[in-house]
C-alpha cells in the first residue's frame, strides 16, 4: 500500500501552493536549529570550565540549557514538523493547500513567539517548569499560531478526494489535535496567575513533558517516516493492521509515562508510569515489525541522502523508546533516576529521531516546492554524517556519564570526563546544522530575486502594438 | 479507521484518559491539600517562608538552578531499633532478656513486640524509627520528601537531574549563611565542583573608610585584590535566605522518624 497519489501535472501545482508557508517555517526552523545547538554547546562548555560564562548572568548553565532545549523543540522541531505536515496533507489529499495565507501569518507569529520566549528566559522570566520555560506572552503566541496552522492543515485534509485514510494521516492528524490539548492544559494549570497547588504542578509538568517529547515527537516522526519511507523505497507499508495497532498502543500506553519513581507524589502515580513503561514494549515491537518490513531489502542507493536520514531516524526511535522503557523499570530507575541517562534519552529522541526524520523530509520537499534542485546539494550528505556521528558522540557519552554518576552516588567528578567528550558530538551536530539554513535561505533568495526580475521585466517591457496604436 | 472522526475518537479516548488520570485526578486529590502537623510537637507544617526567602525562590527560578539540583529525597523504607530507657527494678532479668533479643534493623511490629517483652520484664524501652535509603546515607536528608513539603511553593522546583547535590534539606544540613555566600561567589571552595560562579550576585568594590560588615571572608585564592571587598547584592542575600529556608527535617504522619534531638 503506497500513499495514494498519481504523479500528474497537478502535483506541481500542489507543491507550488505550499511554497510560501513552508519557506517561512523552514527558514525559521533552520535558524533556530543552529542557535539551539549553539546554546547547547555553551551549556556543555560549562563542564570544561565552570567559570567560562560566569561573568555573564544570561549565559549561566541554567539559562543556556533551557534555551537550547526549547529552541530545539519549539524553534526547530515543531515548525519543521508543521511544514512537513502541511505538505503531506496537501499531497495525500491531491489538493492545493487550503487557506494558504493563514499558515504564512501563523509561521511568522510562531517564530516571533519563540523569539519572545528566548528573550524571556535570558531576562530571567523563565517560568521554571521543564519544557514550558517560555513566559506567558510567548506561550500565547505559540498556542494561537499552532491552532492557525492546524486549521489550514485540517481544511486541506477535508478536501481529499479519496476518503480512506493513509496511516500517516492517523499519526499526523493526532499530532495536530494533541499539541493544542496538552499545551493549553499545561499553560492553564501552571502558567496562569493561580497555578495548581503543591506537587500537582510537577505532576502536570511531567505529564506535559512526556506527551510533548515522547508522544508528540513520536506521532510526527513516525507519521512522516511512514509516508516517505514507502514512497522513496517504492515498497508498501506492510501492513496497515500493524500500523493501526502501533498507533493505538502508542497513544494508549505512551501517554501514561513520565512520573519518576521516587517522586514525592501519591504512590499510585509513579506505579502507573512504571507499568506503562512495561507496556510500551508493545508499540515498540509493532513499529519494529513495520520498519523491518520496509527497510530490510529496500534497494535504495543513498550515500547520506534523504533516505539515510529517514532510515537512521526511524531506527533511533526504537532505541530511544527502548531506553525510555528501561529507565521506567524500577530495577534500573533506582540507580539511573536523576542521572544523565534521562537527558541522553531526551536528546536522542529530539536529535537522533525527530531531527533526522524532519531533515530528511525537508530535503525531500524543498526541491519539489521550489521546482529546482537544492543549491548546496553536497551539504546534505555532509550534514547527515555530521549529525549521525554527532548524535552518537553526544548521546552515548551522556548515557555513560549517567551510569557512572548513578554508581558513584552522584559524585560530580565521576561524570565529568564523559560530559567533556559529549561536547565533541555537539560540535559535529552544530557543524552539520548550517546546511539546512544555507539551502533554504539560498532557495528563498533565488526565488525572490526571480520574482523581482519578473516584475521589473513586466514593468519595463515595451507596450504591445495593440495598445500603442490605440 | 476510515475517516477523520476515527482519529479524533482515538485521540479523545487515549489522551482524555491520561488527562483525567494525570491532570484532573492529581489536581483534585492534591488541590485541596491543607497544611499538616508535625508528629510529636503538633506544630504546623509547612512553614511560610520569610519575605526575603520568597524573593530568593524567584531568583532560584530565574537562574534555572533547577537544571542541576533536585529537591526531593528518596527513601527505601524504615528500620526500627529498640533502646532501653530504664532498666527498672529487676536489671538482671532485663539485661538477660536484652541479650536474647534482636534490637536493630527491625520492622515496626517486631520493635513493638520487643518493647512489650522488655516492659513485662520490668524495664522501659523505646522504639526509634530510622529512615533508610541511599539519599539519606549520603546525608542529603533525614527522611523522604513528601507532597506536604511543597504546599506553598510556586513554582515547585523538584528537578530531574542531579549535577549537584539535592537541596531538599539544605537549610537543615548546611545552615551557615556565610559559607553559602562564599560558595555562591566561589564554588571552587568545594573540590571538583561543576558549579559556575554566581559572581553577578555580588559587588566587588573598594573598601571604604570602614569595611562592610557584609563583606565575604573569602579563602586566599578566591579573594579580590588588596583594598577591595566582595559584598553580596540584595539578590544574593535573598537567594541564601531561600536556600536556608529549605528544610525537610520534621517527622510527619506520612514520613515518620524519631528526630535525633529526642534520642537519649
Q: Is residue B213 a contact partner of residue B231, using CB atoms and an 8 Å limit?
A: no
pLDDT of residue A57: 86
pLDDT of residue A213: 97
Q: C-alpha angle with apex B57: A341 to B72, nearest 5 degrees?
A: 40
The Cα–Cα gap between A56 and A181 comes to 37
Per-residue model confidence as pLDDT tens digits over A157-176: 999 988 889 999 999 999 99
Residues in chain B with CB shorter than 8 Å from the CB of A247 are: 10
- Find the mean pLDDT for residues A333-345: 93
Match 517560555 to its residue by C-alpha cell.
Answer: A134
Q: Which of B101, B131, B96, B99 is nearest to B116 (CA)?
A: B101
* Surface of B (32-71) touching A: CB under 8 A: 33, 61-68, 70
pLDDT band at A386 (very low <50, low <70, confident <90, very high): very high
The x, y and z cell numbers of residue B156, run together, are 515547585
pLDDT of residue B261: 58
Of A66-75, B92-101, B217-226, the poorest mean pLDDT is in B92-101
pLDDT band at B32 (very low <50, low <70, confident <90, very high): confident
Q: Is residue B231 a contact partner of residue B205, using CB atoms and an 8 Å limit?
A: yes
Interface-testing mutation among B8, B15, B33, B152, with chain A (most A C-beta atoms within 10 A): B15
Per-residue model confidence as pLDDT tens digits over A340-385: 999 999 999 999 999 999 999 999 999 999 999 999 999 999 999 9
**Looking at the predicted structure, is the pLDDT value of residue B1 above 80?**
no
Q: Is residue B30 a contact partner of residue A266, using CB atoms and an 8 Å limit?
A: yes
**ipTM for the complex?**
0.93
Partners of B86 in beta bridges: B124
Choose between A331 and A436: higher pLDDT.
A436
Are B161 and A339 an interchain contact pair (Cβ–Cβ within 8 Å)?
A: yes
**Looking at the predicted structure, is the pLDDT value of residue B263 above 60?**
no
* Cβ within 8 Å of residue B157, ≥6 positions away: A128, B60, B61, B65, B66, B71
pLDDT of residue A9: 59
> Of the candidates A169, A263, A339, which has its C-beta nearest B72's C-beta?
A263
Percentage of residues of chain B with pLDDT beyond 70: 98
Residues in chain A with CB shorter than 8 Å from the CB of B30 are: 196-200, 203, 265-266
pLDDT of residue B262: 47
The Cα–Cα gap between B94 and B101 comes to 11
Residues in chain B with CB shorter than 8 Å from the CB of A415 are: 163
pLDDT of residue A1: 44
> Of the candidates B8, B61, B163, which has its C-beta nearest A412's C-beta?
B163
- Find the mean pLDDT for residues A34-53: 94
Helix (H, G, I), strand (E, B) or coil at B131: strand
The mean predicted confidence, pLDDT, of chain A is: 93
> Of the candidates A56, A170, A339, which has its C-beta nearest B1's C-beta?
A170
Q: Which of A136, A134, A20, A80 is nearest to A437 (CA)?
A: A80
Q: Is residue A286 a contact partner of residue A246, using CB atoms and an 8 Å limit?
A: yes
Of A111-115, A407-411, B174-178, B216-220, the poorest mean pLDDT is in A407-411
pLDDT of residue B97: 86
Interface-testing mutation among A50, A53, A262, A407, with chain B (most B C-beta atoms within 10 A): A262
- Find the mean pLDDT for residues A34-63: 92
Per-residue model confidence as pLDDT tens digits over A205-234: 999 999 999 999 999 999 999 999 999 999
The x, y and z cell numbers of residue A372, run together, are 529546482
Residues in chain B with CB shorter than 8 Å from the CB of A54 are: 196-200
pLDDT band at B264 (very low <50, low <70, confident <90, very high): very low
Per-residue model confidence as pLDDT tens digits over B157-170: 999 999 999 999 99
Amino acid at each position: 500500500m503506497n500513499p495514494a497519489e498519481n504523479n500528474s501535472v497537478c502535483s506541481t501545482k500542489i507543491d507550488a501552493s505550499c511554497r510560501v508557508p513552508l519557506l517561512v517555517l523552514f527558514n525559521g526552523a533552520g535558524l533556530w536549529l543552529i542557535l539551539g545547538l549553539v546554546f547547547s554547546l555553551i551549556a556543555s562548555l560549562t563542564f570544561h570550565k565552570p567559570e567560562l560564562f560566569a561573568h555573564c548572568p544570561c549565559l549561566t548553565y541554567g539559562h543556556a540549557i533551557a534555551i537550547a532545549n526549547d529552541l530545539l523543540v519549539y524553534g526547530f522541531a515543531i515548525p519543521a514538523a508543521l511544514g512537513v505536515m502541511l505538505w503531506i496533507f496537501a499531497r495525500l489529499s491531491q489538493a492545493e493547500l487550503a487557506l494558504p495565507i493563514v499558515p504564512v501569518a501563523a509561521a511568522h507569529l510562531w517564530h516571533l513567539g519563540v523569539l519572545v520566549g528566548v528573550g524571556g528566559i535570558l531576562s530571567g522570566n523563565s517560568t521554571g517548569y521543564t519544557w514550558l520555560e517560555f513566559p506567558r506572552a510567548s506561550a500565547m503566541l505559540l498556542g494561537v499560531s499552532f491552532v492557525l496552522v492546524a486549521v489550514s492543515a485540517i481544511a486541506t485534509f477535508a478536501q481529499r478526494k479519496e476518503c480512506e485514510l493513509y496511516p500517516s494521516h492517523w499519526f499526523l492528524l493526532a499530532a495536530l489535535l494533541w499539541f493544542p490539548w496538552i499545551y493549553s492544559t499545561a499553560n492553564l494549570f501552571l502558567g496562569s496567575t493561580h497555578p495548581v497547588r503543591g506537587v500537582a504542578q510537577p505532576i502536570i509538568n511531567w505529564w506535559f513533558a512526556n506527551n510533548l517529547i515522547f508522544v508528540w515527537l513520536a506521532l510526527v516522526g513516525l507519521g512522516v517516516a511512514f509516508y516517505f519511507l514507502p514512497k522513496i523505497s517504492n515498497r508498501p507499508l506492510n501492513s496497515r493492521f500493524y500500523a493501526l495497532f502501533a498507533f493505538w498502543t502508542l497513544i494508549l500506553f505512551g501517554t501514561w509515562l513520565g512520573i519518576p519513581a521516587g517522586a514525592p507524589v501519591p504512590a499510585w502515580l509513579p506505579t502507573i508510569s512504571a507499568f506503562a513503561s512495561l507496556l510500551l514494549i508493545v508499540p515498540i515491537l509493532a513499529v519494529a515489525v513495520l520498519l523491518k518490513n520496509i527497510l530490510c531489502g529496500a534497494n535504495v542507493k543513498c550515500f547520506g541522502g534523504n533516505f539515510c536520514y529517514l532510515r537512521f531516524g526511524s531506527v533511533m526511535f526504537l532505541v530511544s523508546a527502548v531506553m525510555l522503557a528501561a529507565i521506567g523499570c524500577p530495577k534500573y530507575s533506582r540507580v539511573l533516576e536523576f542521572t544523565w541517562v534521562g537527558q541522553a534519552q531526551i536528546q536522542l529522541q529530539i536529535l537522533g529521531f525527530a531531527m533526522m526524520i524532519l531533515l530528511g523530509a525537508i530535503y525531500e520537499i524543498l526541491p519539489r516546492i521550489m521546482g529546482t534542485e537544492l543549491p548546496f546539494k553536497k551539504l546534505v550528505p555532509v550534514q547527515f554524517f555530521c549529525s549521525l556521528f554527532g548524535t552518537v558522540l553526544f548521546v552515548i557519552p551522556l548515557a555513560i556519564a549517567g551510569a557512572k554518576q548513578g554508581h558513584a552516588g552522584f559524585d560530580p567528578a565521576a561524570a565529568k570526563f564523559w560530559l567533556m567528550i559529549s561536547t565533541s558530538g555537539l560540535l559535529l551536530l552544530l557543524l552539520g546544522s548550517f546546511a539546512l539554513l544555507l539551502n533554504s535561505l539560498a532557495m528563498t533568495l533565488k526565488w525572490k530575486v526571480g520574482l523581482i526580475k519578473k516584475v521589473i521585466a513586466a514593468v519595463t517591457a515595451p507596450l504591445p502594438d495593440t495598445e500603442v496604436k490605440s | 479507521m476510515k475517516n477523520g472522526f476515527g482519529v479524533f475518537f482515538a485521540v479523545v479516548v487515549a489522551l482524555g484518559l491520561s488527562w483525567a488520570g494525570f491532570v484532573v485526578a492529581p489536581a483534585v486529590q492534591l488541590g485541596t491539600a491543607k497544611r499538616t502537623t508535625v508528629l510529636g510537637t503538633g506544630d504546623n507544617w509547612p512553614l511560610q517562608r520569610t519575605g526575603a526567602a520568597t524573593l530568593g525562590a524567584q531568583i532560584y527560578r530565574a537562574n534555572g538552578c533547577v537544571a542541576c539540583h533536585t529537591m526531593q529525597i528518596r527513601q527505601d523504607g524504615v528500620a526500627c531499633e529498640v533502646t532501653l530507657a530504664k532498666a527498672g527494678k529487676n536489671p538482671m532479668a532485663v539485661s538477660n532478656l536484652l541479650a536474647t533479643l534482636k534490637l536493630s534493623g527491625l520492622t515496626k511490629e517486631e520493635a513493638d513486640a520487643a518493647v512489650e517483652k522488655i516492659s513485662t520484664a520490668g524495664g522501659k524501652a523505646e522504639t526509634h524509627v530510622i529512615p533508610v535509603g541511599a539519599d539519606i546515607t549520603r546525608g542529603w536528608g533525614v527522611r523522604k520528601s513528601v507532597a506536604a513539603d511543597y504546599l506553598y511553593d510556586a513554582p515547585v522546583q523538584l528537578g530531574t537531574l542531579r549535577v549537584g547535590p539535592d537541596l531538599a534539606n539544605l537549610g537543615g544540613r548546611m545552615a551557615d549563611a556565610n559559607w553559602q555566600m562564599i560558595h555562591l561567589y566561589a564554588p571552587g571552595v568545594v573540590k571538583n565542583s561543576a558549579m559556575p560562579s554566581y559572581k553577578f550576585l555580588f559587588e566587588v568594590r573598594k573598601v571604604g573608610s570602614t569595611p562592610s560588615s557584609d563583606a565575604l571572608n573569602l579563602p586566599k585564592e578566591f579573594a579580590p585584590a588588596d583594598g577591595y571587598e566582595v559584598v553580596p547584592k540584595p539578590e544574593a542575600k535573598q537567594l541564601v535566605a531561600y536556600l536556608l529556608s529549605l528544610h525537610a527535617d520534621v517527622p510527619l504522619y506520612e514520613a515518620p522518624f524519631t528526630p535525633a534531638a529526642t534520642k537519649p
